[in-house]
Structure 1
């Protein structure tokens, strides 16, 4: 029924709203938004984009150990193998991390504009290897329609992380400011220390230093068993400076550098499992850093808001096999296995993105146009033994998104043209060493405001995933993969309502529902079940996402996020099966009460159904209850102090997470306490 509804829609419609001045100065994006708050989470109203923002307050309230753990509350997002930075993966609408690799190139992850976590590493997570407390905001864009400024081949969505600024701690005025956060988690005896130091010597300069150290032991599942391979220790830091200058402070220059390191001893090579398995154990050093330089020119002219973002992301993973840890030691296959687990890996991505946002009118049409150009070089050290061929991938892209408003209607076309050249680091035995490919892709969103707070919206988008370095090789299947591009289209249709004084005086209510359907074909990243060389013919996935927020004048609030969906994978012989990476059906309900800004108490219920583990076997439904409390005393020396308390999985539910390895159970009952002090 969903397929006929979306394919049969001859007109796609979406909301158009007049934007306040503050929204006009927001980060360039698509279809400006009005943010309304009912409970913990702000909902974006007035956009065709399925967009969810987790702000700094929610980051602190959730007390997550990883970024992946933080955003799995977003509709359609699945946390795969979830509790460690190296092993956890992000899957959006059935794409992204899967049961074999940490990424399938169909989601994009950016830190201050730097592209990270996009290598297809065997049995390792997304490589989004960083600490949640470095960030002031995490934004999740689901689907393809909002992706054209961020990359090609994006089917699942985009995860954008924004690091903190010194002005967040100084109040935006010259002087010193900062904060100290201490956290403790009972499950695994985990603890965290995060220190922020901000300094603004003048109104035009600000500097921030953050150092975070997170330590976690092995966790315990709901049945009391130990979850192997779940301990880690990760020091992280962030250094950031911003200078504002020029006439009317129209120019700014920001430099940020963040780094996270883990030096793990005698741990499983397979990050998805809980023990060494056939691969055995290794000493592993993981070192990830990102450096971003951004220039902005925003004069008193609607025609110019220019940004130039130069980024460099580098990840190194060094392995040393632990003798005697593999049961295959001494067998004929052991030399090959040792070569695999001893193979070091390094991935470097340098990218320059230049954009300009212009506001202008042509007759009765108002334009909000974002245009940009992007050049990117990705270099990967050769690691053929570990299934990661080396090479260089140079890409160049042009993109444009133009939001055109005509009264209550908004039409937003988006285009991206991208070229790619891949050069192998090794000779491919007489085959070409250089492969070129290009593609034109785009989408269209149409919008209509029906008045009285009600709107309907929709979009259609087409994208191509150009070949990647992982596709290099001499086999027939490798040559096929590097010669074509994966293609997909996504259709979306939805409605939303927002209003005040809806059920009681002084209340606010926002609700948004969104249907989507995605088809993927010319597949190069998924093979038929049981085969390593024959790719699927095509994949169809569809779903329904619902977000709602309600708040009363007395402080009572309700937040809801849910997803229903399914998918089918089709084999070349005409047979089909359930799409192996489909997200689970999931509903998350939070009931809470706020007393001004001093006290916030909430009860969260998360129910998931239609679940499967990594090997495809069905899992029973799961229901998890969480309690959270935030207290902000504002008297005397306690002013600026925040105390947070969390009780997760109250009933000690014993379950395996959706798409996770069957041996990797979810954590059992956990008490979390944090103390933060601003100064």
Structure 2
């Protein structure tokens, strides 16, 4: 097993920690001396109280997964598939068959929101998702699947929304004035990875807090289960973040926040095509990437006034990718590989949440307006210009008090796109009214039934300037969903908790401009895309600390071509299931075994083999003694060093990878 030959020190350390944990576990089983078991505590809560298909990962699960990219944090969410995932370059997020693919980093149907700022990716040829940021910066990731929960965040969202919330100083100070430092070190065997995250959290008063986070991540060339390299060179990814908050006024009703994050990479002599492991076809380049996000926020939530809960957010996201060919490329190829891509998005969002009643109906109304400006640098490989938008939205959750709730949602968006350079110049205006409605009924026994219908439009984007006909043809989609959820305690045994939620969905996309027909001459349009599937989430926890988490996804898709020809939709994920079995011993020890399985996919010219991969994880938090406050995490991913490749990925997955994380607050 080649991954371990040069890693004896890490292997010995890992073995020592695992062996040391065994007697602790035995003592806990015999005496129960490791603290009180928290009722119903598994790794992930199932959101059974909403009709939206949403999954939230909290700080504990983010830490437990020890992800090297944001994608690796959410790849067990049903409906989410990664286009490669273990490296920032050439990786992407696909939700319900939309989002990133092996050609472009995005199709604009999956939105990525960082502290309120819209970021993520442009449709850049052969350059991944460009979601350049580090998971160590964040404390929560929320994934909204489908359209019905997306109208607050943008138009044309068919796949879903990924929302990232960064860490706050008060997460470490506990809201008490003082200075807290936290250091996290992570080591990984496959690729000789090392990560250092240093956090300084300062709270001089109860009203003001400031956090500084510097994370440095280094990863060498990883190998698959057969010992083959899955990249050409390693990566060094430094990231830093500054975040402050000042509260003032009566009962601290007012608050001003500021957040700035910066992640960069300097890659030398690497393939232009980030989805491959060689420079064949496009040659190699020197590529410098920098991603910066700035957010200034104001909130006002006066005590005793349920009509006002105001949030004003001004955000700026800047992605800069500088590329220079080093393989002697000429002609059209030289123009492609030497293109510098930069896109900036400035967004002002004003949103208010009001709680009120009209007779027997209770309202939770979220309404707002957005002003958005996107600037994209003109490049030889893609057109540049500006995209100015204004949008208004309203989402009103109406509860009738008898178990029924109805939530209508509306969004109106208007865009003006102006090209910067001929022949891709000119001004084009488009507008759309979109929305949906969901219906939910909750029984007294914890069972709920729900359904929804949603319609959205993807307005033309700057990249469409290269095809003038597309500038007046918004893509349109409709999604229907139906589902059920159940949550209760004392279901199978005294003190247990059980939650389960299932979603059936059907999405239809027409007037397609983001894709061309498969297997037909270049430029042949697609008439329609249809995707349908089932997503299932379940969790079960016993009073003894034993827990089970289950996530499953079944999907299929069809591409309709001119003349009535149909083929399978190229970006639909394979059917898969993730199962986690674990046990918690109070707050001190958490041991778990995870199985990730994918069914063989045969509906393509290159079938993808099925697989089952096993991961082991252990988290140890001493509650007393000299190690009190320290956190030790050991993970073994792909325990049996299996050779496999995920559906939608362009290269094999990493082989066995042992991870060790040490964290301590001072």
Q: Please indicate, yes or no, whether the TM-score normalized by the shorter chain is above 0.5.
A: yes
Please list the CA deviations of residues 157-200 of structure 1 after superposition, one character each: whole Å capped at 9, or x if unmatched: 00000000000010111111131100000000001000111000
Moved more, 522-531 or 183-192: 522-531
Instruction: Answer yes or no: is 1:305 the counterpart of 2:309.
Output: yes
1:228 is displaced (CA, Å) by: 2.3
Aligned to 1:6: none
Structure 2 Cα separation of the partners of residues 90 and 188 of structure 1: 22
Give 1:625-640 correspondences, 5 Å limit: 625-640=614-629
Q: TM-score, normalization: structure 1?
A: 0.91
Q: Which residue of 2 aligns with 1:376?
A: 372
In 1, the alpha carbon distance for the partners of 2:421 and 2:231 equals: 38
Structure 1 stretches of 4+ moved >3 Å: 35-38, 610-613
Is 1:452 equivalent to 2:441 in the alignment?
no
Looking at structure 2, the residues matched to 467 and 310 of structure 1 have their Cα atoms a distance apart, in angstroms, of 24
Match of 2:343 in 1: 347
2:566: which partner in 1?
A: 576
Name which of 415, 422, 433 aligns with 1:420: 415
Contact 1:525–1:535 (8 Å) recurs in 2:
no
User: 2:121 & 2:90 partners in 1: Cα distance?
Assistant: 14
2:640 is paired with a residue of what secondary structure?
Answer: coil
Deviation at 1:529, TM superposition (A): 1.3
Question: Residues of 2 paired with 1:382 and 1:434: CA distance?
Answer: 15
Q: Name the SS for the 1:150 alignment partner.
A: coil
Q: Which residue of 1 aligns with 2:533?
A: 543
Per-residue deviation, 1:50 = 0.6
1:436 correspondence with 2:429: yes
Matched, 1:264 2:251: no
**Shift in Å at residue 411 of structure 1?**
0.7
Q: Secondary structure at the match of 2:626?
A: helix
8 Å CA contact 2:39, 2:496 repeated in 1: no
Structure 2 residue runs without a partner (length 5+):
1-37
1:1-400 residue pairs with structure 2 within 5 A?
Answer: 38-229=41-232, 231-300=234-303, 301-324=305-328, 334-383=330-379, 385-386=380-381, 388-400=382-394
1:656 to partner: Cα distance: 1.5
C-alpha distance in 2 between matches for 1:174 and 1:238 = 21
SS in 2 for 1:283: strand
Runs of 5+ in structure 1 lacking a partner? 1-34
CA distance in structure 1 between the partners assigned to 2:602 and 2:112 by the alignment:
25
Alignment RMSD, CA only? 1.4
In 1: Cα distance, 2:451 partner to 2:93 partner: 25
CA gap of 1:42–1:499, structure 2 versus 1, over 3 A, is: same
Contact 2:39 2:543 in 1 (8 A): no
Give the Cα–Cα distance (whole angstroms) in 1 for the partners of residues 107 and 302 of structure 2: 40
Counterpart selection for 1:502 from 491, 496, 509: 491
Counterparts of 1:84 and 1:270 in 2: how far apart (Å)? 14
2:460/2:471 contact within 8 Å kept: yes
- How far 1:91 moved relative to its partner? 0.1
Q: Which residue of 2 aligns with 1:659?
A: 648
CA distance in 1, matches of 2:236, 2:546: 38
SS for the counterpart of 1:471 is helix
Aligned in 2, Cα 1:610/1:435: closer, same or farther, shift over 3 Å? Answer: farther
Aligned equivalent of 1:24: none
How far residue 86 of structure 1 moved from its aligned partner, in angstroms, is 2.1
Equivalent residue number for residue 589 of structure 1: 579
DSSP 3-state at the match of 2:443: strand
Looking at structure 1, the residues matched to 295 and 416 of structure 2 have their Cα atoms a distance apart, in angstroms, of: 24
Q: Which string of whole-angstrom CA distances, capped at 9 and with x for unpartnered residues, describes residues 619-652 of structure 1?
A: 1111100000000012223111000000010111
Equivalent residue number for residue 676 of structure 1: 663
Deviations 1:519-573, CA, capped at 9 Å, x for gaps: 0001010101143312100011100010000000000000000001101010011
Shift of 1:610: 4.0
Alignment partner of 1:248: what SS?
helix
1:26 match = none
**How high is the TM-score relative to the length of structure 2?**
0.92
Q: Write the distance in 1 (CA, Å) between the matches of 2:239 and 2:334.
A: 31
CA contact (8 A) 1:83 1:230 kept: no
Question: What corresponds to 2:31 in structure 1?
Answer: none
